[in-house]
Chain A
Amino acid sequence: MEGLFTDCTLTCLDSYDVEPKLLFQWLQVMEKFPVAATALSIPVYEKLRSFSAVPASRRRYILQIDCPADKVAYPGFDGYLLSDRRFLTNREAERFCCMDSEDQLLFYQLRGFSARTGISARPLFAALLEKYGRKVEIAPLNAHYCATALAVQWLQQGGERIAASLAGIGGYACMEEVLLTWYLKSGGDFSFGRVALPQAKRLLEQMIGHPLNRKKAVLGADIFAVESGIHVDGLRKAPELYEPYPPEWVGLKRNIVLGKYSGRSAVRAKAQALGMKLENEQVETVIRCLQTVCAEGTGRLTEREFYRLIHDQKTVS
């Protein structure tokens, strides 16, 4: 079974002052992602159009519209997403209809479910799958930090269509988390991520004007840093011991940070990574420094400080 993913990042940027060129680049990068559709809002589409037409794509382009007349005003899309305001699923979600230009229904989108936490959505999702069959996409919202889990739960129950945004912008599920989970569980080839994820992340940061959190799952710059001795030691023996997936999958690298939790093997591994070989005595000096200096608040020993520590010691001895 295949998940059909809709990227709705470009419906979440109306309040940002985004350069039109970046929107165009976004659509190009999305071409590398295993997504079936890209959704845009009207303001974003207007901005994009001032720069260029949408690039040709194997994906569907879907425009999120406010009234049926918008379909005429903005021709040429594969689908139009319009809220069906009369309809709420037990007040759990808002229903949208995705129609083509001939008014044929492509699928329904159900947006919400933020009062559900994962497996508590199981009976509801089962009922929805029964009612709508394959013609339903869910767009879980993240008000209670469970949107990714809801998307995964949906897929595990046999649902196919998911709408999500990169880094969960706009309050949706995080597309990168849902995709990675899906590939990890189904044993698929995630090799697109190596190049495409860092590119998409950089573009998103440019569009929203600030960097993502360095600890953000899948995307954060620091998620493959290690400090504790037990982990560094483990990683040297076999990286999969303390890594959920190889860092290369998402275009990142592992990196040893020296701090109060680093032991002797971490210090040696760091030295080796920097092309140095340390005497036992030097290792002990570094350990002492880590336990006192770092414990009093500075957190980590930078590479520069590490060099200096070793160098000063050489001069003395």
Chain B
Amino acid sequence: MKEYAFHIVDTTLRDGEQSPGLALSSRDKMILAQRLDALGVYEIEGGIPAMGTLEQEAVKGMSLLCRRARIAAWNRLSLQDIEASIACSPDIVHISVPVSDLQIQKKLQKDRDWIERSVRECIAYARERGYAVTAGFEDASRADMQFMIRLGRQLKEQGVSYLRFADTVGILTPQETYDKIKTLRDASAMDIEFHAHNDLGMAVANSIAAVQAGARYIDTTLGGVGERAGNCSLAEFLEAVSLEYEIPFRIEAVQETAALASKLFGLQDGKDVSL
């Protein structure tokens, strides 16, 4: 089989749906998951089981319906969250780890030691139960690189599959993205997933810079839906990245799926949010 430079992790059903005012029924989530699966998306971030029974049903349903795509369940750094996820038997348990001092101190009111301990404990919990784990560095673009490298090495030891670098507030430029991803990847030896936001209109270009720096997983949403100015649009990313890399997708099929998502979300026009 042909080896492509990157895989798509679609987060329409988690970060996309988190866009204010957007919501999908469990049925619609499963419809979209099936369509994403048919497109050839590598991983689908299906939802947050800790939110409640409706979300759990949706994640369970997706795991049953999708043939190729791996279904990931999103978790805070909490054993209770992870228990709720495991109850849905996802393919991947994704654990979000706030890494900037801003997030650690002001949001969690904890310190870096607490983060390291909790990460170790949460990952061990999921790994011991046989689950593939990915970890997401939240607000990585504003975090201390040395701290991220240390955590990254710890993840490697614990057998975490890949490490998500999230530009949570969308403030990176392509050059900064490239430098940070390359440094983190080289020093931690972890495979990197990149998660962009479009606050400065550079989500697509930053995601391409991440691929150029060696990131093997790129996060997207259909139509670029997501918080604030949105996430990286799958169709736009593929159109642009195809200038430099081969892509295993038909862009027309992606656009059709994006139009369906837009309809299910109840957006009036089928246009990409970034237009």
Contact = CB atoms under 8 A, between A and B. Distances in A.
Interface of A: 115-120, 144-146, 148-150, 152-153, 156, 168, 174, 177, 180-181, 184-185, 213, 215-218, 220, 222-228, 230-231, 233-234, 237-238, 240-245, 257, 259-261, 291-292, 294-300
B151 interface: no
Contact of A149 (B54, B174, B274): B174
B244 A297 contact: no
Contact of A224 (B224, B228, B274): B228
A244 B175 CA distance: 18
Contacts of A116: 243
Contacts of B17: 260-261
A156 B175 contact: yes
A174 B199 CA distance: 12
A241 B102 contact: yes
A60 to B, nearest CB: 26
Interface of B: 17-26, 28, 51-52, 54, 76, 102-103, 106-107, 139, 168-171, 173-175, 178, 197-202, 204-206, 208-209, 212, 224-225, 227-230, 233, 236, 239-241, 243-244, 265-266, 271, 273-275
B109 to A, nearest CB: 8
Contact of A223 (B21, B139, B229, B240): B229
Contact of A185 (B24, B54, B102, B173): B173
Nearest to A219: B229
Contacts, number: 190
Nearest to A156: B175
Given A180-B200, A218-B201, A213 B275 contact: yes
A222 B20 contact: yes
Contacts of A225: 20-21
Contacts of B54: 291-292, 295
B178 A241 contact: no
A148 B102 contact: no
B229 A217 contact: yes
Contact of B229 (A184, A218, A292): A218
